[in-house]
Chain A
């Protein structure tokens, strides 16, 4: 009992010292939980690393030995195909051993707590957990309680954060609007749709702000805009045409089809009419405006099918960038820098 109390008191101190939860004493990534609080230098370093991986992935031999012998557990408490697959692929291409666990109904329904699930899987000598959970703060929770040396990579926690999605969005924008790192300073980015429930929107906003984006807008009916979001450094629009005017980048968010139930919206059709990106609407924007979406898309809801596969759409590129970005993050957290690896080899001899 006393030990348990000591643990929660200690984890509480941890949580308040926020940067140290994600970074080690040298400022290197220990976990990736959120983009909030990460420096511009670190974000750009991750993007540069991802560029290198992306280049390598275009060759014939896509496999590297960076994480050979390491094990990564994909721990998904929410159903996911796309994100889990790209994490799995990223890990395999780094030669890590990967285990996929879809926990939605198995152990939690038997009454095992998240803490117990973590400890049980830790005992299997995992080096990293890629975690998705419906509760905001779940990744922080795992990071606070993980054993030293076990890394947590947030693959989405509730409405809070989806940092690798944020990174791949930054990567995509820099690739198509860059290549200079300061390209963000000239950009107006409009994030459109269900901002209230979106962890992607929050991670995008943190990342875009840190990289000095000129203007970040969120565009949605008031029922889908959370209170006080302007404090995150964004402008709020309730009219799509006004929100899109002059935008260089449009990021559309997925609208859960059950949002009519909570009286957020009257109908999908009305949402599409007022907030969907149709071909006609897109035609009114600059031809160099790019369109992004974290997927999976709802055709005819937030995006027209012809827009999704149109020339300005980067939705499929985002998917492949996702693998490179996830490889970058995994190798930066787990793969010790070359110098340290050499030192470790020497001391073993």
Chain B
């Protein structure tokens, strides 16, 4: 990947407030490193923002600070494939200043922003602007997907080569469709030529038009316009057929259906270069949670049936779905104060990504190592980043987890500017206890 421009790396190197320890030792944690498959107790030493030592019992006197990791899990910092910070353009909803602490609390050290800020990230100038804001706030590795088409309009290609040079880690239409199939094919080919993975939200716009809930008994009873399963399935089929023709790499974003996951599994079995992710809430909630017109469960793609949810869980366990993301969409309170179909979809999710993933471990859906993989190495590889591993010489982006801590989520205690979560009042077991970004504790719980 091409290096970022000068002002970007310069701002990155600027020290944060206070003086972080130059060296740090995390003692006796259960170290989960999906890259090596390591799952066992070890000491991890950090020096100058980089993992310097991994060993059975490292001498504490060689480090300025020691963190007692006994009883805790240490995993690579979480890489969130999709979070919206709403800046520029929608700072009434959120900003880098408000969302960065939320990510840190959630154990997240890297976020990948989709290009649908306002204006859309379809030019190097906008991308640099986003990076500049990110650098000013610091404490988080912020990466960006470039818009696949100008203004996300789905008609003319964005300057993808320039976007890549400016640091885009992939290209995407976010939630916007490309209605012309020929434009879709050319965009995919062009991105492929640049080595850019195209992140596709494969919901057919015509089949989903006007819909706000999963097609089924609940939407029918509530009289909500619905989105059929076929909207996702037909979209995935179409894009897979383009992959078959072109060999281009596609990442399917936010799977919601059992049949969609099945198609991705088949494509991967046939050796096609496709990957997929799922939003954490999609592994827990179903369309019945929409009952009573609960706008906090208005998300896109919609919450589907319990069969879909169970199949998605299985696909995550099998590795067909290689990443769990937050799909964080902070809103101002007013966005959800309307009749259900008129509310804006999306929930505040940075702070529930890790707790929900840990719930999958407690429920026996995932091993701790698999959960770590879906939250770090998996998404890092999809985005072509070096992150997601605990190895000597790697950046010390690490998440220390207290897997046993019992706590109850309170929406009004969220750090994010968006407080709309369907998990308000839910009991959780486990959360981030320390988040290290480049060796610096940016969150200590």
Contact = CB atoms under 8 A, between A and B. Distances in A.
A284 interface: no
A18 B292 contact: yes
A105 interface: no
Contacts of A135: 338-342
A139 to B, nearest CB: 8
Contact of A232 (B220, B294, B336, B341): B220
Nearest to B212: A136
Q: Per DSSP, are chain A's interface residues mostly helix, strand or loop, or mixed?
A: helix
Interface size class, chain B: 20 to 34
A93 interface: no
Interface in B406-428: 411-412, 419-420, 424
A309 to B, nearest CB: 31
Contacts of B173: none
B217 A228 contact: yes
B296 interface: yes
A5 B412 contact: yes
Nearest to B410: A9
Contacts of B228: 227
Nearest to A142: B339
Given A2-B412, A8-B336, A141 B217 contact: no
B245 interface: no
Nearest to A14: B292
B341 A16 contact: no
A141 B339 contact: yes
Interface string A130-172: 0001011110110001000000000001111100000000000
Given A36-B221, A136-B224, A158-B223, A12 B424 contact: yes
Nearest to B419: A5
A155 to B, nearest CB: 14
Contacts of A15: 292-294
B181 interface: no
A160 B334 contact: no
B226 interface: yes
Interface size class, chain A: 35 or more
Interface in A54-82: none
Given A202-B223, A231-B217, A231-B221, A136 B340 contact: yes
A227 B294 contact: no
B334 A4 contact: yes
B440 interface: no
Contact of A5 (B222, B224, B292, B333): B333
Contacts of B125: none
A95 B424 CA distance: 45
Given A15-B293, A136-B339, A227-B215, A202 B221 contact: yes
A104 to B, nearest CB: 15
B412 A114 contact: no
Given A1-B333, A36-B221, A136-B341, A226 B226 contact: yes
Contacts of B20: none
B156 interface: no
A330 to B, nearest CB: 23
A214 to B, nearest CB: 21
Interface in B207-250: 215-226, 228
Contact of B338 (A1, A6, A113, A229): A113
22 contacts: A4-B334, A7-B333, A8-B295, A9-B412, A16-B291, A113-B338, A114-B338, A114-B342, A115-B337, A115-B338, A135-B342, A136-B293, A136-B339, A140-B339, A141-B340, A145-B337, A202-B223, A227-B217, A227-B228, A228-B218, A229-B217, A231-B221
Interface of B: 215-226, 228, 291-296, 333-334, 336-342, 411-412, 419-420, 424
7 closest A-B pairs by beta carbon, nearest first, are A159-B223, A160-B223, A228-B217, A137-B293, A231-B217, A15-B292, A135-B339
